[in-house]
Amino acid sequence: MSRKTCILPGLILSVLFFMFSRNSLQGQTFFMGNFKSIKSSGMEVIIKAENASLQVRYYSPTIIRIRIDKDLSAPDFSYAVIAGPGTGEFKIQENSESVTLLTDSLKIGIRKNPVRVQIKNSKDRVLSEEYAPFGTGWQGPEISCYRKLFPDEKFIGLGEKTGNLNRRDNKYEMWNSDIPAYLSNADPLYVSIPFFMGIHDSLTYGIFLDNSSRTKFDFGASTDNLFTRFSVSEGPLNYYFFGTSTIAGILADYTWLTGRMSLPPYWSLGYQQCRWSYYPDAEVLAVAKQFRARRIPCDVIYLDIDYMDSYKIFTWNPKGFANPRALISELNGMGFHVATIVDPGIKVEPGYFAYDDGLKNDYFVKYPDGSRYTGSVWPGRCHFPDFTKEAVRQWWGSSFKYLVDPGVEGFWNDMNEPSAWGQDIPDIVQFDFDGHGASMKQAHNVYGLNMSRATFEGTKKLLNGKRPFVLTRAAYAGIQRYSAVWTGDNVASDEHMLLSARMVNSMGLSGLSFVGPDMGGFIETPTKELFVRWLSMGVYTPFFRNHAARGTNRKEPWSLGEGVEESSVKLISQRYRLLPYIYSAFYTSTQCGLPVARSLAINYTNDEKIWWWKYQEEYLFGDNLLVAPVSCTQNLARVYLPEGGWYRLSSGEFYQGQQEVNVEAPLEDLPVFVRASGIIPMQSVIQNTSEKPSDTLDLHIYAGKNSNSYVYYEDDGQTYNYEQGLYCKRLIQYSPSGKTIVIGKAEGAFASKFTKVRFLLHSFPALSSLKANGSSLSIQKFKHDVQSAVLPFTADELNIHFE
């Protein structure tokens, strides 16, 4: 072949190749391409590939961040992340085929041609890797990361999502949405937490996709089980990888990065009563009085939208709530705290101060041409504050004086997806994004987070050292720093009750501890049976609020007919008995991010049975209780008890673990079990948390074979003085083999409200001697199978020996 004949086809081929590659870049799909160059410091490596760049940053031995974009020029800014990179560094190795970055726990392998990322643990086992044929790719502005799907891989998390505990074979989207009466497979809902954990081959890892635009997750739903995919609607693709070896460890790392809740007011752990709407003030008082007269414990009463004047935020309805200060002071006198709803829409009404202020100071979101966006919500035509602007957050926060001054202490943030009668606000609406500038596309999912932040920060200042209680419907990752979350407008049905357990557990797997549904269902009226069953679950739900929609029948515990009131007294009283245990569980959560309601996937990750659909609603409530939700039509339940031994809380009956059991489940007696060796502090029943319980802390200990330790925590429950050391924390250790129970010396300067401790030893063999710090104690038979002894609860170490 002559030289000429050889050049011509070559030329044609290169022109064709050029056209093809241009097309694939400009048109639709392209991938990273091959390695071109590397720039590295110990903390960060930037790899340029043919079509995009990849940045890997060291955060800690178990946390790294990967950022991928065509170029990396987009602002590096997050509303979720509060921790900066650590001081450690990667060890970097490079050869012609790959670059390897090592931390003490992880090995990040980046293959060069084409660029693909694989992450192994220190034992050289692959935790997660990109799907080799695609890696990371673009379709228009959308960037997707395709990852290998392991044959036995399971996925958990993603916050407030319906569906199964194991999210495999499903796909999900993050776009905060107001969906009243959502179906049990609806997606998306109100909250976006783009964080999930993967489990395969007894290995675990976590991925937090920190991008507030519309993101998608496909866990093999339509890929013949070849790969999974997560994607952002616009770049950068920015994710944190967590490589600790346990789910609890990953949650600790994730909440280190995005923050943990601070202790909420103790009263907010009590029972809360709500209805859309108690109106007027006389009705609020009448409801409150009924609680006290009927001796049904309750701490919080809510005012829904009708307390406002024409639904105008930061106003009071002059007809129905003419004297809010007097009303709230009377309620406070009865031991109630008041929470009011706040919606973001500000009524367009010249002369209304919030509207005038917002207009004058340019606080409302606008279209690109500078005109203000107007949408309709409760008050009619509204403008919407730009909560991504510091000045707006300050203004919003300080405006709570109109609620705090008369005595409101709870702030219920609603409609903050944001919702304009269930419609999305147009994408082109502009936001400050704390100086970075963004459109609704990026600001939508963080609107609720920033509204809640402004509410929390503002009311915390106004309450002068007292803790506010903040509740929100919409949220993004990191919301735990500011607010509790409820699961929106659910329905009074068994299906929704059971779904709520999965949703609460899933939120717990996503850094949120203070969560719960509208107990009894918001829309429609529950049957008596459903109400009682749901109430019995509510006792063991972190956020315990009864709420009902306008137009539904009354749902206060005495309104549902015969028998319900008696059951309610029993059940709500049990919540109040458990408060020392529940508060300690909240404390644990503030320290390490472990949720209060814990999916069994946290402690029993590798036990196949916990994943069975019929057991997937079960959860641990705190360290030592296992709750098995059951529909209200079932009087018998099949329950799976994981490893160890378990005692039925109501009867003391013992069951060996790692087996399925049939148990009775009468309406009031939800199957709840105590772990063998479990330690549960309880108190006497009180009618609200401002009432003092008896002077005795009941310390229930259930006989078991294994040693167990438990952190008991107490403080004033109202202020932040615990930050200055005013708390009382004690490590309680039970050693069956050493025959000892030790209550460690009290840490912290807070004097416990209890002056005595009563040991209630369940299913211990008949004791011949019980000694505390060497002196003999008298042993009482408390009831069948429970022996007890009472001791002073001083701050010193208490060493109990039993024979």
Catalytic positions, please?
A: 414, 417, 489
766 CB burial (10 A radius; 0-12, 13-18, 19+):
exposed
680-699 binders of ligand GLC (CB under 6 A): none
237-276 binders of ligand GLC (CB under 6 A): 276
483-512 binders of ligand GLC (CB under 6 A): 488-489
Can you tell me the distance from the alpha carbon of 761 to that of 774, in angstroms, rounded to the nearest whole number? 19
Q: Could you give the string, one character per residue 638-657, with x where binding to ligand GLC holds by CB under 6 A and - elsewhere?
A: --------------------
Task: Determine, following the binding rule CB under 6 A, whether residue 524 of this chain makes contact with ligand GLC.
Answer: no
CB of 484 to ligand GLC, least distance (A): 14
CB within 8 Å of 464: residues ≥ 6 apart = none
CB of 721 to ligand GLC, least distance (A): 33
Q: Could you give the string, one character per residue 339-368, with x where binding to ligand GLC holds by CB under 6 A and - elsewhere?
A: --x---------------------------
- Report helix angle 494-508 to 528-538, nearest 10: 10
14 CB burial (10 A radius; 0-12, 13-18, 19+):
exposed
CB of 547 to ligand GLC, least distance (A): 6
CB of 507 to ligand GLC, least distance (A): 16
Closer residue to ligand GLC (CB): 153 or 489: 489
Closer residue to ligand GLC (CB): 381 or 692: 381
Q: Please report, as a single letter, which amino acid is at residue 486.
A: W
Query: With helix as H, strand as E and coil as C, how does 121-164 read?
Result: ECCCCEEEEECCCCCEEEECCEEEEEEECCCCCEEEECCCCCCC
| Cα–Cα nearest to 150, from 207, 106, 109, 201 | 201
Can you tell me the distance from the alpha carbon of 268 to that of 297, in angstroms, rounded to the nearest whole number? 13
CB of 548 to ligand GLC, least distance (A): 8
Q: Are residues 489 and 523 in contact, defined by beta-carbon separation less than 8 angstroms?
A: yes
531-550 binders of ligand GLC (CB under 6 A): 547
Q: Could you give the string, one character per residue 390-429, with x where binding to ligand GLC holds by CB under 6 A and - elsewhere?
A: ------------------------x---------------
Closer residue to ligand GLC (CB): 218 or 524: 524
Report how far Cα 570 is from the mean position of its chain's Cα atoms: 28
Name residue, tokens 């935790």. 127
Task: Determine, following the binding rule CB under 6 A, whether residue 305 of this chain makes contact with ligand GLC.
Answer: yes
Task: Determine, following the binding rule CB under 6 A, whether residue 304 of this chain makes contact with ligand GLC.
Answer: yes
Can you tell me the distance from the alpha carbon of 374 to that of 356, in angstroms, rounded to the nearest whole number? 15
CB of 324 to ligand GLC, least distance (A): 18
Total chain residues near ligand GLC (CB under 6 A): 10
165-204 binders of ligand GLC (CB under 6 A): 180
Task: Determine, following the binding rule CB under 6 A, whether residue 309 of this chain makes contact with ligand GLC.
Answer: no
Which residue in the set 444, 460, 473, 496 belongs to the binding site for ligand GLC (CB under 6 A)?
Answer: 473
Cα torsion through 275, 280, 281, 285, rounded to 10: -60
Q: Please report, as a single letter, which amino acid is at residue 108.
A: I
CB within 8 Å of 722: residues ≥ 6 apart = 263, 715, 716, 748, 750
Which helix H or strand E contains 176, and what residues bound it? none
Question: CA angle, corner 37, sides to 31 and 38, nearest 5?
Answer: 105
Closer residue to ligand GLC (CB): 235 or 516: 516
Q: Could you give the string, one character per residue 22-61, with x where binding to ligand GLC holds by CB under 6 A and - elsewhere?
A: ----------------------------------------
Q: Could you give the string, one character per residue 564-593, with x where binding to ligand GLC holds by CB under 6 A and - elsewhere?
A: ------------------------------
CB of 550 to ligand GLC, least distance (A): 7
Closer residue to ligand GLC (CB): 188 or 642: 188
Can you tell me the distance from the alpha carbon of 463 to that of 525, in angstroms, rounded to the nearest whole number? 36
Can you tell me the distance from the alpha carbon of 3 to that of 12, in angstroms, rounded to the nearest whole number? 15
Can you tell me the distance from the alpha carbon of 737 to that of 447, in angstroms, rounded to the nearest whole number? 54
CB of 561 to ligand GLC, least distance (A): 23
Helices (H), 42-93: none
CB of 569 to ligand GLC, least distance (A): 26
Closer residue to ligand GLC (CB): 489 or 715: 489
Closer residue to ligand GLC (CB): 180 or 465: 180
Task: Determine, following the binding rule CB under 6 A, whether residue 306 of this chain makes contact with ligand GLC.
Answer: no
208 CB burial (10 A radius; 0-12, 13-18, 19+):
buried
Q: Are residues 246 and 204 in contact, defined by beta-carbon separation less than 8 angstroms?
A: yes
CB of 523 to ligand GLC, least distance (A): 9
CB within 8 Å of 532: residues ≥ 6 apart = 563, 564, 567, 568, 571, 632, 667, 668
Closer residue to ligand GLC (CB): 253 or 414: 414
90-119 binders of ligand GLC (CB under 6 A): none
Report the residue closest to ligand GLC, judged by CB.
276
Closer residue to ligand GLC (CB): 180 or 738: 180
Q: Are residues 213 and 188 in contact, defined by beta-carbon separation less than 8 angstroms?
A: no
Closer residue to ligand GLC (CB): 548 or 674: 548
Q: Would you tell me which residues interact with ligand GLC (CB under 6 A)? A: 180, 276, 304-305, 341, 414, 473, 488-489, 547
